[in-house]
A and B are shown apart, each in its own frame.
Chain A
Amino acid sequence: MPADPAMVVRSPEDSPGTFGAMRSLFLRDLRVAFRQKQDLLNPLLFFIMVVSLFPLGVSPEVSFLSRAGSGILWVAALLSVLLSLDHLFRHDYDDGTLEQLVLQPQSLFLLVLAKTLAHWVVTGLPLVLLSPVLGVMVHLEGNSLGMLCLTLLIGTPVLSLIGSIGAALTLGLRSAGVLLSLLIIPLYIPVLIFGTGTVAAAAEGAPVGAYIALMGAFLVLAVTLAPFATAAALRISLSNS
């Protein structure tokens, strides 16, 4: 029989705060991403390739490109985010770190938010940074170019956040790729419409304040709601494994 009474049960003060846990998760994911350069470069190369194929495949005329350019860039960015989504939780699921994440005492909502933010930093943000260069390539004018970068800056985090729901839901499946696209693309459509709509309005010189506000509303909505759904989906996927 044990000599001591029970071991002391840990109280909330014994654990580091939620912010510390989020920070360490965020940094870990960045570190892993930078050691796996292929995963990091693939969406970016895909983005460049799709955008550069349009002038070759459709028409290199300035009038066409400057009209269609923002749409091409937006669709390419959307697809390359979609391409990268499968990696968001897959590796963690395979090596067991996802189980450890779910069992952490901090709120899974915030941990998922940190993880999705890390995903955006390594996929969405590089796309945003690259878009001015590709925008010039498709002859976007100054005003539209700036607006394109701004809408991508607001829009790509929304894509990552919405996508995380699909990635979490399809986690236990063997060939999740197609199903993931089917689930997620309908949800991406409003973001795409308003993203390209903003740039089109700016090109015509119309006021864009309302468009930007709406994009901002999408972002707020995604930040506050998507991690809930993702956290719940992660628990379900793990429970089924």
Chain B
Amino acid sequence: MSEPLLQAVNLECERDDRVLFRDLSVAIVPGTLTRVEGPNGTGKTTLLRILAGLSDHYSGQVLWRGEPRNHRREEFARNLLYIGHKPGIKPLLTPMENLRSLVSGRRPLSDDVLSQALEGTGLAGFQTVPCRNLSAGQQRRVALARLLVSDEPLWILDEAFTAIDHHGVAALENLLQERARQGGAVIVTTHHDMDLPDMKRVTLGGLHAG
């Protein structure tokens, strides 16, 4: 077993005087796909935002490769790809421009590669249409095109499957599994019942269940 990329130790998070989770420890090992599950309002998104470093409302520790993450912020940022609830797509820009600006801070890539990634997510022919004219699912696909050109070892995807059709869901599930097989680490939340072989689960909401 290789050492964990990302580790959360004894996380506790409280929102609006309600404890979402307590003593939660998670270790994200390379080569695994982890699904965070639980009913609505149990803090799935909150947990993902904490793991991604967007939220500071927690006590406990988050370790990146064995060291406190806040000491290695830049290295952590370089190795993380986060796609949130809001996909990070500018409605006034075309898919191509959006993808280019999302990728440009991380890796210099040629337009051919980006164009192929967009075609790979089923957006062939839409490269030059402003994103506000695209459907919600298509906008999400623009964000997901980043996965096809990503070399970050850690992916955190919040509700990645929202508004994606059946074919897209199957393709994306394949992509995530393939990624884990190659040694990447993937953390997702989904609304549909995703059940893949070798999938790890983190179940939230236990505090209220019993």
A20 contacts B by Cβ under 8 Å: yes
Interchain CB contact under 8 A, B108 and A16: yes
CB-nearest residue of chain B to A35: B92
- Per-residue CB contact flags for chain B residues 84-104 toward chain A (1 = under 8 Å, else 0) read 111111111100010011101
Q: How far is the CB of A157 from chain B (nearest CB, A)?
A: 24
Residues 1-24 (chain A) with a chain B CB within 8 angstroms: 1-10, 12, 14-16, 20-21, 24
Q: With a CB–CB cut-off of 8 A, which chain B residues contact A2?
A: 30-31, 180-183
Nearest A residue to B5 via CB reads: A6
In the complex, the answer to whether A99 meets B93 with C-beta atoms within 8 Å is: no
If over half of B's interface residues share one DSSP class (helix, strand or loop), that class is named, otherwise mixed; here it is: loop
A159 to chain B, nearest CB (A): 25
On chain B, the residues within 8 Å of A1 by CB distance are 31
B31 neighbours in A (Cβ, 8 Å):
1-2, 4, 6
Alpha-carbon gap, A240 to B49, bound state (A):
11
Q: Tell whether, in the assembled complex, residue B90 and residue A104 are in contact, meaning their CB atoms are under 8 Å apart.
A: no
Query: Does A32 make an interface contact (CB < 8 A)?
Result: yes
**Chain B, 27-65, contact with A by CB distance < 8 Å: what is the 0/1 string?**
000110000000000000000000011111100000001
Q: Mark B130-151, 1 if CB is under 8 A from A, else 0.
A: 1000000000000000000001
Among the listed A4, A25, A31, A104, which residue makes an inter-chain contact with B97, where contact means beta carbons less than 8 Å apart? A31
Given the known interface contacts A4-B183, A6-B183, the answer about A104 and B86 at a Cβ–Cβ threshold of 8 Å is no
- A205 CB, min distance to chain B CBs, angstroms: 49
Q: Considering the chains assembled together, what is the distance between the CA atoms of A59 and B65 in angstroms?
A: 70
CB distance from A198 to the nearest CB of B (A): 38
Contact with B along A74-116 (1 / 0, CB 8 A): 0000000000000000010011110110111110000000000
Contacts of B10 in A (CB 8 A): none
Among A7, A96, A100, the residue within 8 A (CB) of B182 is A7
Q: How far in angstroms is the closest Cβ of chain B from A228?
A: 15
Q: Is the CB of A21 within 8 A of B54?
A: no
Give Cα A18–Cα B15 distance, bound, in whole angstroms.
36
Interface range on chain B: under 10, 10 to 19, 20 to 34, or 35 or more? 35 or more
Cross-chain contact B180 with A32 (CB below 8 angstroms):
no
Asked if A28 CB lies within 8 Å of chain B CBs, one says yes
Distance between Cα atoms of A12 and B74 in the complex (Å): 9
Nearest CB of chain A from residue B83's CB, rounded to whole Å: 9
Shortest CB distance B7–A (Å): 14
Bound Cα distance A95, B85 (Å): 10
Q: Say whether B182 contacts A9, CB under 8 Å.
A: no
Q: A105 to B183, Cβ gap below 8 A?
A: no
> How far is the CB of A56 from the nearest CB of chain B, in Å?
37
B85 close to A96 (CB less than 8 A): yes
Q: CB within 8 A of B104: which of A3, A20, A31?
A: A20
Q: Is A175 an interface residue (CB 8 A)?
A: no
Q: Does B21 contact A (CB under 8 A)?
A: no
B80 within 8 A of partner (CB): yes
Chain A, range 38-70, C-beta contacts under 8 Å to B: none
Q: Which residue of B lies closest to A94 (CB)?
A: B86
If the complex has contacts A9-B79, A32-B90, A32-B92, are A105 and B104 also in contact, measured as CB distance less than 8 A?
no
* 19 interchain pairs, CB-CB under 8 A: A1-B31, A2-B182, A6-B183, A7-B30, A7-B151, A7-B185, A10-B78, A14-B78, A15-B78, A16-B106, A28-B101, A94-B86, A95-B86, A95-B90, A96-B88, A97-B90, A104-B105, A105-B74, A239-B55
Q: Which 9 A-B pairs have the closest CB atoms?
A: A96-B86, A2-B31, A6-B30, A7-B153, A96-B88, A24-B104, A7-B183, A21-B105, A105-B77
